[in-house]
Amino acid sequence: MPDVKDLYDLGETPPMGHVPARMHASVIRQSRFGEPAQAFQSEVVDTPSIGPKQVLVWVMAAGVNYNNVWAALGKPVDVIATRNRAGETEDFHIGGSDASGIVWAIGDEVTNVKVGDEVVLGFGMWDEDAPDIQAGADPTTSVTNKIWGYETNYGSFAQFTRVNYTQCYPKPKQLTWEAAGAYMLVGTTAYRMLMGWAPHTVRENDAVLIWGGSGGVGSMAIQLTKAFGGVPIAVVSEESKYEFCYQMGAKGVINRKDPAFTHWGRLPDLDDQAAFGEWMKGARAFGAKFWEVLGERRAPRIVFEHPGEATIPTSTFLVDNGGMVVICAGTSGYNADVDLRYLWMRQKRLQGSHCANVEQSAALNDMVAAGQIDPALSRTFPFDGIGEAHQLMHENRHPAGNMAILVNAKREGMTTLE
């Protein structure tokens, strides 16, 4: 065994399988909660130990997701206090819910991966022995399911990350580390939303309305809808994002900032006829625009939702009779209104969706490996750019697609451990 050390610089690689006692990490502390640019700071911390069904991964690149904007802000949930209440002792948070890397150590009961395997990581971390899962529940609905690197500590913004064996999937060989680190969370979420809620899965020629088409989940939803034969119509907030959506496969794009749309946010009092009439005018204008860019007068069978409060009234109004609004977030707020008359009379479905199970994650990863879905990598940051990347996302100024961070990868463009 070559000389081993207790701490390695970023870009320096320990002998395969040697786990140094300490590691570099980008750390959030409660005293720094606030703007992401300041909340993340590089520190040296102890390398985590692993349990019998866990895997320690040497992180080559990490993906940037909205959840760690929330972690940095310390709201709506203080993730550190929540874990401390549950008995965990660390007074810091290492975020990061997406990564590509190399298996560096495995627990005694792990058989699906071995040291040296190149992997990408799913973001659901559940206890497969939990009674609800043993009784047949989808693991993403288990009371034990936590989002790795948000609800759990030791995410991918560090030299090592700790995951369950069920989170490991083979890294598509053709991808650079940074591209491989950028797509699993958004891709698998979008896959479950569009293919996980039968009978409302994307069928040939289904029109699908996709909010935030240039964002993380949106860019994946456009590609998946197209791949399954549907017709993706994307919504964005500026025309400079149109081209990206077309490249992803959108048939048409709508600018939600068009002055004809005056109806965003919560519904007015339904008894205030003038205000409700004004709201309806905006919603109808948006519907007419949808028909125009689709090229026919047909409502979306599926609406892919995540803005929440700002858009749910429009989504539930617009979705086709018998169609589904599927939602994974409330980025603009959680207090959304639904005019129930449309929901029951037109037999629409409002479906929550969260995370992705093993089958869905594997299916999405296979599509990426086969070149059917592109990770839509936009910009790659160095390790000390984690705060900046999240700040851009917080201000909705991030580039279209998905951002990545180089962790142990020495430079962009690497596909293996050099």
Residue 329 is a binding residue for ligand NAP (CB under 6 A)? yes
* Cβ closest to ligand NAP, residue 45 vs residue 236: 236
Indicate which single residue of 153, 156, 167, 331 sits in contact with ligand NAP (rule: CB under 6 A).
331
C-alpha span between 78 and 85 (Å, rounded): 11
The neighbour count for residue 10, using CB atoms within 10 Å, is 16
Indicate which single residue of 60, 222, 236, 283 sits in contact with ligand NAP (rule: CB under 6 A).
236
Indicate which single residue of 60, 355, 364, 392 sits in contact with ligand NAP (rule: CB under 6 A).
355
Q: Are 116 and 105 in contact (CB under 8 A)?
A: no
* Cβ closest to ligand NAP, residue 34 vs residue 399: 399
Contacts of 293 (CB under 8 A, 6+ apart): 233, 251, 252, 253, 254
* Cβ closest to ligand NAP, residue 72 vs residue 329: 329
C-alpha span between 394 and 373 (Å, rounded): 26
Indicate which single residue of 56, 94, 186, 409 sits in contact with ligand NAP (rule: CB under 6 A).
186
- By CB under 6 A, the residues from 122 to 151 that bind ligand NAP are none
* Cβ closest to ligand NAP, residue 262 vs residue 347: 262
In the complex, the smallest distance separating the C-beta of residue 204 from ligand NAP, rounded to whole angstroms, is 26
- By CB under 6 A, the residues from 240 to 299 that bind ligand NAP are 241, 256
> Count of residues binding ligand NAP (CB under 6 A)?
30
In the complex, the smallest distance separating the C-beta of residue 326 from ligand NAP, rounded to whole angstroms, is 11
* Cβ closest to ligand NAP, residue 76 vs residue 136: 76
- By CB under 6 A, the residues from 195 to 234 that bind ligand NAP are 211-212, 214-218
End-to-end alpha-carbon separation of the chain, Å? Answer: 19
Residue 394 is a binding residue for ligand NAP (CB under 6 A)? no
Q: Which stretch binds ligand NAP (CB under 6 A): 11-19, 302-310, 339-347, 381-389?
A: 302-310
Q: Are 77 and 30 in contact (CB under 8 A)?
A: no
In the complex, the smallest distance separating the C-beta of residue 18 from ligand NAP, rounded to whole angstroms, is 34
* Cβ closest to ligand NAP, residue 172 vs residue 401: 401
Q: Which stretch binds ligand NAP (CB under 6 A): 37-45, 168-176, 197-205, 329-337?
A: 329-337
Q: Are 59 and 408 in contact (CB under 8 A)?
A: yes
Q: Which stretch binds ligand NAP (CB under 6 A): 16-24, 105-113, 181-189, 407-415?
A: 181-189
- By CB under 6 A, the residues from 42 to 81 that bind ligand NAP are 65-67
Interface residues with ligand NAP (CB under 6 A)? 65-67, 185-186, 189, 211-212, 214-218, 235-237, 241, 256, 306-307, 310-311, 328-329, 331-332, 354-355, 393, 396
